[in-house]
Structure formats: structure tokens, C-alpha cells
Structure 1
């Protein structure tokens, strides 16, 4: 049960933070009944108990009218009076003392600009703030603290504001339409001016002979360097010298003749025995 309760409380805090801009440290505006409930059930220190409830650092506020009402209740609420005096005093512009309920209503107003969490035990005050968007209410039940879940009225308000943000309002539509018409007029005027300037310059150019009579050139002419071919002399084949070729031919002929003339002669040696035998 404790985990489910913590999830509900965190979900409610995220709802008010995301939809109405509540930021840490959260400001809690306490009335006399809530301060008395905290002391009666031992929920002290109060800032620690509320910090566990909201899951973030808190600042506790009261008002001069709340303190004055506790003082008027006498000795039965003396402890609550001393505790309320130690809280930060919220700004209220009442010259004369009013009831705590009326003072808190005036501080919250219609839109809760200071982003207060209202802590009260007054059931009528709780029901009233459920009809005002952006006012989370904290109350105590014995020794536990609770946050009222966002009412149907508050959820409907958030849904309607989101739809209004998504769609364009009438003043915004008229402003956008006027801006588009002005842009079209200015663009048309610029096009006309550019066309007139072009026609005027063309007329001036024709009237003075295209600008060549005064030595004016229309466009700067640059000579582009073309790629050159290779040197034709370097591409010629080398010629062989005739003298060297003739000398080579003569050398070749001489070599061939010498080969032909060089005939090995076979020397025959006669043996003496053979000679003698032949003689006998």
C-alpha cells in the first residue's frame, strides 16, 4: 500500500510540474489547521515530512492573517502559533486582519502565480481549490500526509490549453496573413524595379553604340591558354649514316673472304719404314 501511495503522489507532482510549471524547491502555504494537525500527530519536523511526501526540497510559508487567527484562538493553539511564526511569511496586502481562508484565497488568486502547494485541513477550502487550475492541495489523515489527485476540472483545463497551443488563434492568423501580403507586395516591387533597371541599362547601351564608341568593353575578355602539342622535331626518327653502314658492309665482306681463303692444309708425314719397304 505504501508503494502505491508513493506512486500516486509522484504522479500528481509530475502532473503539476509538467502542466503548470512547478519547480523545486516546492513552496507550501500552510494554514493554522494544518500546522495544528502536524503538531498533534507528531509529524515534526514538518519540512522533512513534506519533503518525503513531495520527493524534493520544500519551503514552508504562512501569512500574517493565519498567525493572527491562531493568536485569537488562545492557549489551545499556542504551540501552533509559535510554529507558524517560524515559517516564512507570504505576502498579503491586507491592512486589516481577515480570516485565514480569505487570506489564502487572495494569495492564490485565479491562477496561483507563485506556484504554491496549499496545505489545509479545511474540507471546504479543499473543494474550492479543486475548481481552480494549478492549485495542488495537501492534507493530513492521522499520522500520514496526502496530495489530492488532479480533479476533472483541472485535467480538462490542461487539455483545452494544449489544443489552443496546437491551433492558431485569430489574431495570430490575421498577423500572419498581413505579413504574407506585405512580403508579396515587396517582392513584386523589387521585381519591377529590377526589370526597370535592366531595361534602362539596355537602352543606354544601345543608345551609345553598345559601349564600344567610348572604349567601354561589355565583358572582360581573358585569353585561355590552350594545350600545346609536342615538339615535332623531337618526334622525328634518327637517320643512320651512310658511311658507317658502307664500312660495316665492307668489314663483313672482308671477314667472309678471309674465312674462305683460310683453308687448313693437311701435312702428311711419311714413315721411314714404309719408305724402305717400298724400296725393296
Structure 2
């Protein structure tokens, strides 16, 4: 099936589903002439084609009157009878077999309350049932293609009437409503006794707010924080004093070494260098004396 045709059939069946309450699997009521035409299609699964045409699962059905009409065709149409036996038997409440067209017309009725999808080839029967709203009709066209007929005029009128009824009900429900203040349930909130539906401005969530410091508990917390700050400052001062003491020790050490060097230099050195040589000359002079 072509994609364009499949989309069109899907829209048609959506109309029957939304307006007339059709549900899957769709009950397809088969006529004897439809089965005779389907038997002419070679190498085609007509059972599957039913579901493809209506875009959903199907439940084929046939009445006893239609099967009797196929039996009367003779043994050469036994294969058509076998096709009919695959469908579910639907009781038509006719004690004696009547014409298949009359049987199908009685099954559909004036309103198609059982929501049948009719599959027939008889054009006079299709014309007669065109006045029944909510009746989808399938048939084979001249080229042997299974098609779904467009919605009839009665079906479109029933759809428009249902939409107008729903619109009127909606207007009736909103009759007299002004700014939503007199809608049912509008006065159940704050200010409902005065007919106001407005809500009061709510404050912040108390659980998410930080508790204020105050009272005895606040004073204790403040005292503890002060003690922690004092201890931290004392530790910082002790560390600074230790650093200063270490620096002073290093300074005193350097001063003692410098003083010792200065004393040696003042005493004339340690006997090395030029001064040492001078000292030796004086020794030799004293020895010669």
C-alpha cells in the first residue's frame, strides 16, 4: 500500500475511533460477494490486507446467511467457503436464510451500535447504508485493489454535531465565570470567605534560615568563640617570641666571635704574617747582645 493512501486511511479510522468509539481489533463484517471477489486475487493474503487497510488489527466475521449463499454456489466455489470458515461466525437471528444484503443491513441497523466495518461489493447496498452514521465500508475497486471508502455525509454530520455538543457543554460550564473568582473551588484557599482566590505571600522556610544568636545559648556560644580566639592569639604570640629569641642567640654568638678576633688583632696577631717577622728580629737582636 502506498504511503499516501495509508495516511489517508489512518485519518479516516481516527475519525471513527474518536467520534464513534471504535476500538481494535476492528470487527469486519464480510459479505459473500466480497469473499468471491477476494478469491480472484491470486497470491495475495486477503486476511492481512484487511488489517493493512484499516491500519490496525481486525476480527473478520460472517453471518450464517452469507455462508448459505456461498454453499448454494456449488462445489466449484468450495475454496471460497473454506475462506469464509476462517472468519468468526456471527449470529444474525434469522431462522431461515435470507438475502445476504438484507441480512447485513439488519446486522448494521440504523446506528451501527456494534461498530462493524462492512466489507461488501454490492453498490446498491453501499448506497442504502450511506445514511447510517459511523459505518466504515471496504470494497475492491475496478483494478482489484482493496480500498476504504471516505466517510459518508451522515458520518461527517454526526461528527460535527458531536463536536458542537462538546463545545456547548464547555461554554455552559464557563457561563458566568469572571476572572476565575467564581470557579468551583476558587474560594477554598486563603481569602475564600471573601470570594478572593489569591494566595497570601509566604515567608521563607524557617528550617532553611540561620538561627539568630540571642539569650543564654547565644551568650555561651559567644563566650566559647571568644576563648578560642584568645587561645589562637596566645599561640601566635608564643611562636613569634620563640622566633625572636632564636634570632637574638644567633646575634650574640656572632658578637662573641667578633670580640675575640678584635682582641687578637689588638694583641698583635697570632704570630703570623709581617708582625710575626718583626717579633723574630727582636729575638735575634737580644741573642746577639
**TM-score class, shorter:** 0.5 to 0.7
The equivalent of 1:89 in structure 2 is 89
The equivalent of 1:258 in structure 2 is 264
Residue 184, structure 1, aligned to residue 181, structure 2? no
Q: Residues 98 and 247 from structure 1, CA distance in 2 versus in 1: closer, same or farther, beyond 3 angstroms?
A: closer
8 Å CA contact 2:119–2:139 kept in 1: the answer is yes
Once the two structures are superposed, residues 223-269 of structure 1 have per-residue CA deviations (whole angstroms, 9 ceiling, x without a partner) of 37343314344316537699999998677545423211115252449
Q: 1:55 aligns with which of 49, 52, 56?
A: 52
Instruction: Give me the whole-angstrom Cα distance separating, in 2, the residues matched to 1:243 and 1:78.
Output: 131
Compute the displacement of 1:152 (Å): 5.7
TM normalised by structure 1 equals: 0.56
Once the two structures are superposed, residues 4-26 of structure 1 have per-residue CA deviations (whole angstroms, 9 ceiling, x without a partner) of xx456524431233222366655
Which fold has the larger relative contact order, with Cα–Cα distance below 8 Å and residues 6 or more apart in sequence?
1
Once the two structures are superposed, residues 91-132 of structure 1 have per-residue CA deviations (whole angstroms, 9 ceiling, x without a partner) of 435567655334323433455455433122222221234444
Compute the displacement of 1:185 (Å): 4.5
Residues 1-280 of structure 1 aligned to structure 2 (within 5 Å): 6=2, 9-21=5-17, 26-39=26-39, 42-43=40-41, 48-52=45-49, 54-55=51-52, 58-67=58-67, 70=69, 74=72, 79=77, 82-83=81-82, 86=85, 87-93=87-93, 99-109=99-109, 112-141=112-141, 144-151=144-151, 153=153, 154-155=155-156, 157-158=158-159, 169-170=170-171, 172-173=173-174, 180-185=183-188, 187-188=190-191, 222-223=217-218, 225-226=221-222, 227=225, 228-231=228-231, 232-234=233-235, 235=237, 238=241, 252-262=258-268, 264=275, 265-266=277-278, 267-268=280-281
Q: Residues 184 and 129 from structure 1, CA distance in 2 versus in 1: closer, same or farther, beyond 3 angstroms?
A: same
SS at match of 1:139: strand
Compute the displacement of 1:34 (Å): 2.6
Instruction: Specify every segment of 5 or more residues in structure 1 that has no aligned partner in the other structure, as ranges.
Output: 192-218, 270-280
Instruction: Give me the whole-angstrom Cα distance separating, in 2, the residues matched to 1:140 and 1:245.
Output: 119
Q: Residues 190 and 118 from structure 1, CA distance in 2 versus in 1: closer, same or farther, beyond 3 angstroms?
A: same
8 Å CA contact 2:65–2:103 kept in 1: the answer is yes
Compute the displacement of 1:150 (Å): 0.9
Instruction: Give me the whole-angstrom Cα distance separating, in 2, the residues matched to 1:83 and 1:246.
Output: 126
**Bigger mean CA offset, 176-185 vs 59-68:** 176-185
RMSD: 5.0
Q: Residues 76 and 246 from structure 1, CA distance in 2 versus in 1: closer, same or farther, beyond 3 angstroms?
A: closer
SS at match of 2:60: strand
8 Å CA contact 1:67–1:84 kept in 2: the answer is no
SS at match of 2:12: helix
Q: Residues 122 and 245 from structure 1, CA distance in 2 versus in 1: closer, same or farther, beyond 3 angstroms?
A: closer
Instruction: Give me the whole-angstrom Cα distance separating, in 2, the residues matched to 1:38 and 1:251.
Output: 127
Instruction: Specify every segment of 5 or more residues in structure 2 that has no aligned partner in the other structure, as ranges.
Output: 195-213, 270-274, 283-289
SS at match of 1:18: helix
SS at match of 2:135: coil
TM normalised by structure 2 equals: 0.55
